[in-house]
Amino acid sequence: MKVLKFKTNIKCGGCVATVRPFLDGEKSISKWNVDTDSPDKILSVSGEDVDPQRVENLVKEAGYNAEMVRVVGIGGGEL
């Protein structure tokens, strides 16, 4: 499993609620969360075959921006 990290403009709980149906509906995503306290509003997405472009498109469909910044393997090392 890998974890993708995205810089976003998802700022609050209401924004997270708007994005939720888009990300929850993607079968390749097993878990996700947004750190709205971080300056870059980091979205972390985990799953087996998660396509970074697909995640960016889903967030865009919800009305927000996402830009991949990092991929982390299951052991915590960058891929």
What are the pLDDT digits (tens) for 12-69? 999 999 999 999 999 999 999 999 999 999 999 999 899 999 999 999 999 999 999 9
Give a yes or no: residue 32 inside a domain: yes
Question: In this structure, what is the dihedral angle of CA atoms 56, 75, 37, 65, given to the nearest 10 degrees?
Answer: -10
Contact 41, 9 (CB under 8 A): yes
Whether 34 maps to a domain, the answer reads yes
Domain of 13: which CATH number?
A: 3.30.70.100
Range of the domain at 37: 2-73
Number of structural domains the chain divides into: 1
Tell me, yes or no, whether 79 lies in a domain: no
**Of residues 42 and 78, more confidently modeled:** 42
Query: Which amino acid appears at position 50 of this protein?
Result: V
User: Of 15 and 3, which is predicted with more confidence?
Assistant: 15
| pTM, entire model | 0.88
